Amino acid sequence: MAESTASTEPEATVQSQMSPIRIQLINAIDQALILRELLSPKSLRSCELEALPDPDSIYVLLPPDVVRQLGLRLVDQRIIRLADGREEIADVTEALRIEWNGKFVTEDALVMGNRAVLGQGALAKLNWATAASPACELANEPASSEAVSDGATNGFTDHPTKDLANEPPDALADGLTDGLTGGLTGGLTDGLSDHDLTTGAPARSAAVKGAS
């Protein structure tokens, strides 16, 4: 008989922290026999019920009446140490399939309690924490149109500007061309002057060349 620990909290405490979820339970042995065409699909035993998610528990817990309804055989026993220190002997069922939110997991279950409980192992495989958590808010919300407008205006007003309305079109075109060609030419010249164009390697300083 295996000995295990389970941090199963008293039911009233767990209920106050977690909301039940609607799950479907299926006898996994029945399902396997149907897939092998050894059992009629009409003989599949299943049920739908509400289960309590309990991340502090390790196991899936099922009440005896649910185990009988699913036709699950008892294949083992475990000594379970509860959170309050008490120990109980619990029967272990054969495999069952648990379906929730488009996902499934195959687990055995401990026969105890008066309601179904899903422990951390089943919850992790069902991605319960991700699906049940509230939608995350963006850390940086988009700025309002007024803020964007103010920021753009402040960026321009930090620098002296000309009254463009009084400038002739030719002056505006010349100023734009000079600004673009000056910036591009300066950047290109600075980048090339740092390299030896014949080899593509960085150019050495005059002092280094003289010493060589």
- Domain residues for the domain of 86 are 2-131
Q: Which residues are registered as beta bridge partners of 24?
A: 48, 99
Helix (H, G, I), strand (E, B) or coil at 92: strand
Asked if residue 71 and residue 25 are part of one domain, the reply reads yes
> CA 188, CA 141: separation in Å to the nearest integer?
39
Inside any domain, residue 142: no
Asked if residue 115 and residue 31 are part of one domain, the reply reads yes
Q: Which residues are registered as beta bridge partners of 61?
A: 110, 117
Asked if residue 121 and residue 168 are part of one domain, the reply reads no
CATH number for the domain harbouring residue 55: 2.40.70.10
Helix (H, G, I), strand (E, B) or coil at 78: strand
Inside any domain, residue 179: yes
Inside any domain, residue 148: no
Asked if residue 169 and residue 115 are part of one domain, the reply reads no
Inside any domain, residue 149: no
Asked if residue 193 and residue 95 are part of one domain, the reply reads no
Inside any domain, residue 152: no
Asked if residue 116 and residue 58 are part of one domain, the reply reads yes
pTM for the full predicted model: 0.56
What per-residue confidence (pLDDT) applies to 81? 87
Asked if 93 and 67 touch (Cβ cutoff 8 Å), the reply is yes
Q: Which residues are registered as beta bridge partners of 9?
A: none
Inside any domain, residue 206: yes
> CA 194, CA 191: separation in Å to the nearest integer?
6
Asked if residue 111 and residue 10 are part of one domain, the reply reads yes
Inside any domain, residue 141: no
Sheet containing strand 87-93, edge to edge, reads 2-5, 74-81, 87-93, 110-111, 61-62, 116-118, 46-53, 21-27, 96-100, 103-107
* Run of H or E residues at 205: none
Asked if residue 194 and residue 125 are part of one domain, the reply reads no
What per-residue confidence (pLDDT) applies to 83? 79
Per-residue pLDDT of the chain (212 residues; tens, 9 = 90+): 555 545 444 343 344 468 999 999 999 999 999 999 999 999 999 999 999 999 988 999 999 999 999 999 999 999 998 878 899 999 999 999 999 999 999 999 999 999 999 999 999 999 998 877 654 333 334 444 444 444 444 444 444 444 545 555 555 455 545 554 555 445 444 544 454 544 444 544 433 334 43
Inside any domain, residue 54: yes
Total structural domains in the chain? 2
Asked if residue 125 and residue 207 are part of one domain, the reply reads no
- Please work out, in degrees rounded to the nearest 5, the angle formed at the alpha carbon of residue 183 by the alpha carbons of 178 and 188: 130
